[in-house]
């Protein structure tokens, strides 16, 4: 890779600053921001650079009793991207909400600003836990490669005497090698799906891994008072290009939609695409797939949580023809809302999607190929959803609206039970091994 001397000097300054003080990672070097500079580098180079940095920063876990996390009277501190609109941000907020609902004392530590995760986009309203000292249970909603760095930001005095549970998500059957850095800074692990948990277990050996499905029932689109939808039959999909354009696979949905409906004005496809700057070719590929179709629209802007939920108000169907999901938050949100839901029938979403509550799409497995380089091509296979099958499902849903709505509403009850806050806490703690907190430690 050819890079100007100015770029190398700026990069060296960024890395040096991160080793001296994590709080200086957002500084500007000349006219370039650290964020813009970092994005100019190839993902493998960024990952290697980060590994070198965190190797010098790895904190040491305290030796604490194995059952410390089961003490209902110690504080829970959720560490993650709490003010970010990303899926990881929502994961952290849902975990905190479930723990609060269980009557536990819950603090938060928002690391969004340190990871360029759209800091300040969403208010989480958790008391700041950075000053908490002594025994506590840390739920670290930061994936393995960045877990040592996250704890270094908080400092050794914070980590001392704490029990640390990593809550990690991943979207392929195998983990990359750089995940090995994270196993030394957690006492145990939880994952939002059996798919992710299996990948972690294959990599991590004997470390305990529990499956704690996201408690989506605590925050999903409410369609009970939605305005009557008298316009075109409306299909929605939402995806973060920064999370992997090839993996989210929106062009497959565009092809299925055009195959089912052509340019009919009685139907419309709405795409909500965020973080296009992470992979500029995505825009041109989506526009090329749309072509001259005037019944397909794209919104490119990032939205806050309220704006995101408003997108669902006049929608008939939610669709994701992804190649792989560690969980599939929008799919779960759609199911909880009682909205007819179509998704690729593979990976993390199959913990809550069934043929009785939704419409899984047939697929074949193909080797991973990701030009964005979010996912190494040597980590096995992911799904190639069957576009013809997806088109047939969309056509059926458009012509059988009543039956589809009844199926979705009937299935919502079971999905909400599976994705309840109490189910998440039971799984995170171990259902048979923990008790409710005493009244004196209830959080506000």
Residue 225 belongs to some domain of the structure: no
Q: What's the CA gap between 249 and 241, in Å, rounded?
A: 10
Residue 62 belongs to some domain of the structure: no
Q: What's the CA gap between 431 and 433, in Å, rounded?
A: 6
Q: What is the pLDDT of residue 26?
A: 39
Q: Averaging pLDDT over each range in 141-155, 228-242, 389-403, which range is the top one?
A: 389-403
Helix %, strand %, coil % for the chain, to 5? 45, 15, 40
* Number of domains observed in the structure of the chain: 3
**Do the beta carbons of residue 380 and residue 368 sit within 8 Å?**
yes
- The closest alpha carbon to 138, from 92, 76, 185, belongs to 76
Which structural domain range is residue 430 located in? 68-215+422-441
Q: Are residues 333 and 259 in the same domain?
A: yes
Q: Are residues 248 and 397 in the same domain?
A: yes
Residue 334 belongs to some domain of the structure: yes
CATH value at residue 393: 3.40.50.2000
Q: Are residues 252 and 195 in the same domain?
A: no
> Which of 21-30, 151-160, 245-254 has the least mean pLDDT?
21-30
Q: Are residues 261 and 348 in the same domain?
A: yes
Q: Are residues 271 and 337 in the same domain?
A: yes
CATH value at residue 161: 3.40.50.11930
291: phi > 0 → left, psi -120 to 50 → alpha, else beta; which? left
Which structure tokens are listed for 41? 């580098």
Q: Are residues 253 and 197 in the same domain?
A: no
- Residue-by-residue DSSP string for 166-181: EE---SSSS--GGGGG
Q: Are residues 202 and 245 in the same domain?
A: no
Give the model's confidence band at 310: pLDDT under 50 very low, under 70 low, under 90 confident, else very high. confident
**Do the beta carbons of residue 236 and residue 319 sit within 8 Å?**
yes
Residue 48 belongs to some domain of the structure: no
Q: Are residues 277 and 349 in the same domain?
A: yes
Whether the per-residue pLDDT at 97 is higher than 90: the answer is: yes
Residue 354 belongs to some domain of the structure: yes
> How does the average pLDDT of the chain come out, rounded?
85
In tens, the pLDDT along 366-378 reads 999 999 988 988 8
Q: Are residues 349 and 385 in the same domain?
A: yes
User: Can you say how many angstroms the Cα of residue 126 is from the centroid of all Cα atoms in its chain?
Assistant: 20
Residue 372 belongs to some domain of the structure: yes
Residue 60 belongs to some domain of the structure: no
Beta-bridged to residue 238, according to DSSP, are: 272
- Start-end of H helices in 102-242: 147-154, 156-159, 194-204
Q: What's the CA gap between 348 and 200, in Å, rounded?
A: 13
Q: Are residues 32 and 73 in the same domain?
A: no
Q: Are residues 413 and 431 in the same domain?
A: no
Whether the per-residue pLDDT at 438 is higher than 50: the answer is: no
Q: Averaging pLDDT over each range in 119-133, 309-323, 343-357, which range is the top one?
A: 343-357
Residue 373 belongs to some domain of the structure: yes
> Which of 47-51, 57-61, 289-293 has the least mean pLDDT?
47-51
Q: Are residues 246 and 381 in the same domain?
A: yes
Give mean pLDDT, residues 89-118: 91
């Amino acid at each position: 890779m050819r890079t100007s001397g100015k770029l190398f000097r700026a990069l060296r300054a960024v890395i040096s600053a991160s080793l001296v003080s994590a709080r200086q990672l957002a500084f500007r070097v000349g006219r370039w921001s650290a964020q813009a500079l970092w994005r100019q580098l190839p993902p493998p180079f960024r990952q290697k650079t980060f590994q070198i940095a965190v190797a010098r920063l790895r904190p040491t876990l305290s030796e604490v009793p194995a059952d410390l996390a089961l003490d209902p009277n110690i504080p829970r501190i959720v560490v993650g991207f709490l003010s970010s609109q990303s899926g990881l941000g929502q994961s952290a907020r849902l975990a905190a909400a479930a723990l609060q609902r269980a009557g536990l004392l819950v603090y938060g530590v928002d690391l969004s600003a340190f990871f360029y995760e759209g800091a300040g986009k969403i208010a989480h309203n958790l008391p700041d836990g950075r000053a908490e000292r002594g025994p506590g249970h840390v739920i670290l909603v930061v994936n393995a490669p960045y877990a040592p760095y996250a704890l270094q930001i908080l400092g050794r005095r914070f980590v001392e005497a704490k029990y640390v549970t990593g809550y990690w998500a991943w979207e392929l059957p195998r983990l990359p090698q750089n995940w090995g850095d994270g196993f030394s800074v957690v006492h145990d692990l939880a994952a939002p799906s059996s798919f992710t948990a299996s990948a972690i277990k294959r990599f991590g050996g004997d470390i305990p891994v529990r499956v704690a499905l996201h408690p989506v029932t605590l925050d999903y689109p409410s369609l009970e008072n939605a305005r009557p939808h008298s316009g075109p039959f409306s299909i929605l999909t939402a995806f973060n290009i920064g999370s992997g354009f090839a993996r989210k696979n929106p062009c497959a949905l565009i092809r299925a939609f055009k195959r089912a409906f052509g340019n009919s004005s009685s139907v419309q496809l709405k795409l909500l695409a965020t973080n296009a700057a992470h992979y500029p070719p995505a825009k041109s590929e989506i526009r090329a797939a749309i072509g001259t179709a005037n019944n397909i629209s794209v919104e490119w802007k990032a939205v806050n949580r309220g704006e995101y939920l408003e997108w669902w108000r006049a929608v008939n169907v939610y669709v994701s023809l992804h190649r792989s999901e560690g969980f599939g938050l929008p799919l779960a949100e759609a199911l909880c809302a009682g909205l007819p839901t179509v998704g690729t029938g593979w990976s993390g979403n199959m913990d809550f999607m069934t043929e009785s509550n939704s419409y899984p799409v047939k697929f074949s497995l193909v080797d991973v190929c990701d030009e964005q380089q979010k996912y190494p091509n040597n980590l096995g296979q992911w799904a190639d959803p069957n576009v013809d099958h997806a088109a047939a499902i969309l056509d059926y849903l458009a012509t059988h609206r009543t039956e589809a709505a009844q199926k979705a509403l009937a299935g919502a009850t079971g999905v909400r039970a599976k994705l309840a806050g109490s189910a998440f806490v039971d799984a995170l703690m171990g259902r048979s091994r923990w008790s409710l907190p005493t009244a004196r430690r209830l959080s506000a």
